[in-house]
Structure 1
Amino acid sequence: MKKLALLAPLALTACMTNAYDEDPYDGPDSVMDGAYRAIGNEPFWSLDISDGRMSFRNADGYAASESNFAFTPDPRLGDVYQGQRIRATVIDRRCSDGMSDRTYPDTVTVEIGTQVWRGCGAPLRFFETTDERGEQ
């Protein structure tokens, strides 16, 4: 039982909030305002949302995409992007990927069938303008 207690903090680092007062990215309120990327690790995966398309890919070679999906802002759940196969929930809560010092503005959950991936996300501009520490 002690071993499980020691491993619990490691499991939480995949997507945790932090105590920073400043938002590391002051960008669009909605993913629909521009290109967006979410990433996660253990296992590695990515989700891109742009030009009316959601594209998911993981390290095992699995890929899925949607060209028709609905956007629903939900004050309790966050922004929900629902296609026939992919459901992505973006919550405005800072997140750390657990592998770098970068802090992302959003916590993201992706569901495809019974599989669930948890990670962090930001508008694509965030990835292009910040370093591994999340600094510009």
Structure 2
Amino acid sequence: MKRLCVIAALLAAPLGACNNDQASGIVTAESAQSFDGISEAETLRFIGNEPFWGGQATGDTLIYSTPENPDGSEITVKRFSGLGGLGLSGTLAGASFDMAVTPGECSDTMSDRTYPFTVTLVIGEDSRTGCGWTDAQPFSGPESP
């Protein structure tokens, strides 16, 4: 349950900023729209540095890689579409794996690329941040920085 709360907190949009109920200005569970910016059929790619990590996710399969494991580890994830983004949760080498993907300009600080998604990753007690993109929503900048 704690994992679900972590992802929900990362993905929740500030409800006071929304105006889905024109008569009252209040967002209810019935009127809120969950994030649909990355379809289950799309491949989400993600990267981060310090430490370096990356991978991709399609449907309920995610591959997580590091310089020590360049081929990556494949894990099964559950998808959660929140109000502000997409959550992916699973288990990696016995540790909880929770990723939140939210729309917003992102820089990996290592290239001249700009990405359309910010990625927040928590593996066990270790937190990391990075960037993400899909074919439908690609990064801008050099193909090979």
TM-score above 0.5, yes or no: yes
Q: State the partner residue of 2:123.
A: 112
Aligned to 1:132: 142
Q: Which residue of 1 aligns with 2:53?
A: 45
User: Could you give the per-residue CA deviations for residues 63-84 of structure 1, whole angstroms, max 9, x where no partner exists?
Assistant: 54322x22111125x2111123
Structure 1: distance between partners of 2:59 and 2:82: 22
Q: Which runs of 4+ in 1 moved over 6 A?
A: none
Task: State the one-letter code of the partner of 1:57.
Answer: S
Which structure 1 residue ranges, 5 or more long, are not aligned? 1-27
Cα distance in 1 for residues equivalent to 2:103 and 2:115: 10
TM-score when normalising by structure 2: 0.60
C-alpha separation in 2, matches of 1:31 and 1:122: 12
CA distance in 2, matches of 1:71, 1:103: 25
Q: What secondary structure is seen at the aligned counterpart in 1 of 2:57?
A: strand
Q: Corresponding residue for 2:88?
A: 81
The C-alpha deviation readout for 1:88-118, integer Å capped at 9, x for no partner, is 1001011011111110000001221112221
User: What's the counterpart of residue 64 of structure 2?
Assistant: 56
Q: Highest Rg: 1 or 2?
A: 2
- Identity rate, percent: 29
Shift of 1:29: 1.2
Structure 2: any 5+ residue segments left out of the alignment? 1-35
Structure 1 distance, partners of 2:87, 2:118, is 12
Normalized per residue, which structure has more helix? 1
Structural RMSD (CA): 2.4
Which SS does the other structure have where 1:92 is aligned? strand
What TM-score does the superposition give when structure 1 sets the normalisation length?
0.63
